[in-house]
Copies of this chain bind each other. A is one copy, B any other.
Amino acid sequence: MNPVQPIQDPAEIVAAEFSQRVRSYFEKLQSTICSALEEIDGAGKFGRDRWERPEGGGGLARVLEDGAIFEKAGVNTSTVFGTMPASIARKMNVEASGFLATGISLVIHPRSPMVPTVHMNYRYFERSDGDSWFGGGSDLTPSYLFKDDAVHFHSTLKNACDSVDTAFYPRLKKWCDEYFFIPHRNETRGVGGIFFDYLRGDVEKHFTLTRAGGDAFLESYVPIVRRRMAEPWGEHERNWQLLRRGRYVEFNLVYDRGTTFGLETQGRIESILMSLPPHADWRYNVQPLPGTREAALVGVLKNPKEWLNS
């Protein structure tokens, strides 16, 4: 069953019932997540920066900076539509047409090196010739490895995927390890999660998958924050975290499709680069000593694990 019908006028897409449901879901999820994160943080508050795209649509950027637990957290939604800019059509290797893109994008950089960075993004894209797809996922990037955290994160996402189709998790877990890979470092960005892109076909099923992933976010991440936020750390751990954040910057600016696509197509720069950490470091040729916790993390990044089978 595919409720998307070929339509020609971008205005028709925007009015279409299906894309409105998707958009509404993302906007509610944004609000739910921001409230929950503010409650955990206890001090930081998310701003509300509403912006418009002159050619159609806009978004709501919600960023929390300098919180007690979260050093920087961004939870953005946007819905843009109109005639597809030539630059985007070229990148997608399609004819320009009417389009609508709606999505939610989240990146959390906690203050403590013991609390992992997390990313979640879900998006729906529709073209006026009837083509449409979902993309997204969620992945965890620790500076220090706690196996229990990786297992909890993956297990929660697996349950979410399984509620829709048990074929999803193994496929999306592998896709995530392959996508969040930094070739020039020969390591993954973190301990993975799930990722998918250009999921075409049964849009109702894929919307259900997207909702399952979005709804599972707080359950996948909040318990990890709660059990790690009191772990002790000092300057040594902070310095390592800042170097790992440097890798995060390298991945996002060099390889992340959403980021490079946004930069090349003149997207809203402050929303696109919300994902970058508040502080990041680069030092020359740092190699963790064998046997250290830092080496343990790098070992796992160089050899992605099946967290639920070990």
Q: Does A84 contact B (CB under 8 A)?
A: no
Copies in the complex: 2
Which of B254, B270, B279 lies in contact with A279, CB distance below 8 A? B279
Chain A 253-293 interface 0/1 with B at a Cβ cutoff of 8 Å (1 = within): 11000001001001001101110111111111100000000
* Complex interface residues of chain A between 96 and 113 (CB less than 8 A to chain B): none
C-alpha gap A83/B242 in the complex (Å): 38
Chain A 229-271 interface 0/1 with B at a Cβ cutoff of 8 Å (1 = within): 0000000000000100010011001100000100100100110
- Per CB-CB distance, the 7 closest pairs between chain A and chain B, nearest first, are A276-B282, A253-B253, A63-B284, A270-B285, A184-B263, A184-B269, A253-B254
* Interchain residue pairs with CB less than 8 A apart (29): A47-B284, A49-B284, A49-B285, A61-B284, A61-B285, A63-B284, A72-B282, A72-B283, A72-B284, A183-B263, A184-B266, A184-B269, A185-B269, A242-B279, A246-B276, A249-B249, A249-B280, A253-B254, A254-B254, A254-B260, A254-B263, A270-B284, A270-B285, A276-B282, A278-B282, A278-B283, A279-B280, A280-B281, A280-B282
